[in-house]
Amino acid sequence: MSTALPPPPRAPAVPRVRVLRPPEALPRRLMAAGHVLVVTLVALSIGALLNAQGIRKTAHGQPLGWRRDVAVFFADPLADVSRFLHTDRPREWIQGRIDRAGDDDIDTSLPSPTTIPPGATTTTAARVAYSPDNRLRMWIGGDSLAVTPGQSVLETFAPATEGVVEAVVPQVDGRVATGLARPEVFNWPAHLQAETARLDPDVVVLTMGSNDDQSLTNAPDGSTVGPFGSKAWVAEYRRRVGGLMDQIVAEGRTVVWVGVPIVRDVGRSQGQYTVINDVFRTEAENRPGRVVFVDIYPLFQDQNGNYADYLPNDAGDLVKYRADDGIHFTRAGGDRIAGRVLESLYQTFDLTSWKEAPPPTTPVPTTSRAP
């Protein structure tokens, strides 16, 4: 009799594990090169239409030459299409929300001495008296050379006037790489007209000219006037300088125009900046008492008439007045210019007679006795 053995136990079933391949091991579905090109072009076109006004402003602001001409040739129509399709509205909305409205505007209109409003005067103004109760309101700005001296005026010299001079804004309105040569880059007359109307200063302290040693774009006939220093260039630059002076003076304000200093580059100092300063000087002389030219060129010359980073101060100590780039100023250099600006204010306005005025007398009330 045979005994049947029980069947061997079955091994437990091993669960099947699905092995996932890493993403990089999966076969990629490639897009046709033509599709990639189309998507890229569409994305670039949309981006260009959204930013067309900024592209146009950048194109016009490039250095003069064929590259700028080509950029403007394409940027202007693009901006027109964007304006027509209203695709520039999102950019305008964002700029308005971050307080940069108008950044893309290009205003090339420039004032001329022949366009002074009727009845406006550029003759010598009376020497107006100011006091702590009637302060001289001052605006300071210009190109990058205005910044450090302007800070010296605001932080050191204006407070030293015993409260007679006050700034309409607590900072310098400095705009790097600007001037009167390229109004499409930054239109100073238009900007100043808006600022003086908003802030109503009595005196405008303006530093400008260091970036104007180039051809002048947007002449009255739309042309570019050059080369620098030519007879046509001087005539057009004189028109722009005189026009800006008269624009401010016609509003009943006084201009203190700070000239261009000597710089380390001898060619720019002697070949360009002397021409520019001469225009400032003569145009100011044509408006006595209303425009004051502050010549800072000699302030930074050594005993031989050359540029110097270090010069002796009043105590005979050598002081570094110029920045390492040979153009801008250290704070000591800014203080030196600020002192000259303040001196011009004292010469132009009466800022001291209030100290000599007798104090107001208060009548003593009298009482009457009954009989």
pLDDT, tens digit, 9 for 90 and up, residues 6-29: 666 666 665 665 655 665 655 666
Q: Is residue 335 helix, strand or coil?
A: helix
Better-predicted residue by pLDDT, 356 or 81: 356
Q: Is the pLDDT of residue 309 over 50?
A: yes
User: 371: pLDDT confidence band, cut at 50, 70 and 90?
Assistant: very low
Q: Mention every residue, 6+ apart, whose C-beta is less than 8 A from residue 148.
A: 328, 329, 330, 331, 333, 334
113-355, which class in CATH? alpha beta
* pLDDT band per the 50, 70, 90 thresholds, residue 367: very low
- Dihedral of alpha carbons 335, 339, 340, 342, sign: positive
- Give residue 207's pLDDT band: very low, low, confident or very high (50, 70, 90): very high
pLDDT of residue 192: 97
Report how far residue 59's alpha carbon sits from residue 76's, in angstroms, rounded to the nearest whole number.
Answer: 9
Res. 40 pLDDT band, cuts 50 70 90: confident
Residue 362 confidence (pLDDT) above 80: no
| CB distance 233 to 216 below 8 Å | yes
pLDDT category of residue 44 using cuts at 50, 70 and 90? confident
Among the listed residues 165, 163, 170, the one whose alpha carbon sits nearest the alpha carbon of residue 344: 165
Mean pLDDT of 336-347: 97
Q: Which residue has the tokens 């993403």?
A: 23
Residue range 82-105: mean pLDDT, rounded:
66
Q: Full-prediction pTM beyond 0.85?
A: no
Q: If you ran DSSP here, which 8-state letter would residue 153 be given?
A: I
Percent of the chain at pLDDT exceeding 70: 70
Higher pLDDT, 282 or 40: 282
The pair phi, psi for residue 44, each rounded to 5°, is -65, -40
Helix axes 33-50, 52-60, angle to 10 degrees: 80
Q: Indicate if the pLDDT at residue 74 is higher than 70.
A: no
pLDDT value of position 96: 65
Residue 286 above 90 pLDDT? yes
Token digits of residue 186: 């930054």
Q: Is the pLDDT of residue 282 over 90?
A: yes
Q: What is the mean pLDDT of residues 205-220?
A: 96
Residues facing 207 on adjacent strands: 142, 258
pLDDT at 368: 44
Least confident of 28-42, 159-173, 205-219: 28-42
DSSP 281: H
Query: Is 319 in contact with 310 (CB distance < 8 Å)?
Result: yes
Reported confidence tier of residue 370, pLDDT bands at 50, 70, 90: very low
The answer, yes or no, to whether residue 118 has pLDDT greater than 70, is no
Task: For residues 255-273, give the mean pLDDT.
Answer: 96
Q: Please, is 331 exposed, middle or buried when counting C-beta atoms within 10 Å of its C-beta (0-12, 13-18, 19+)?
A: middle
Domain boundaries of the chain, sorted by first residue = 36-93, 113-355
* Residue range 154-167: mean pLDDT, rounded: 95
108-117 pLDDT, tens digit per residue, is 677 777 555 5
pLDDT, mean over the chain? 84
Residue 36 banded pLDDT, cuts 50, 70, 90: confident
Inform me whether the pLDDT recorded for 46 exceeds 70.
Answer: yes
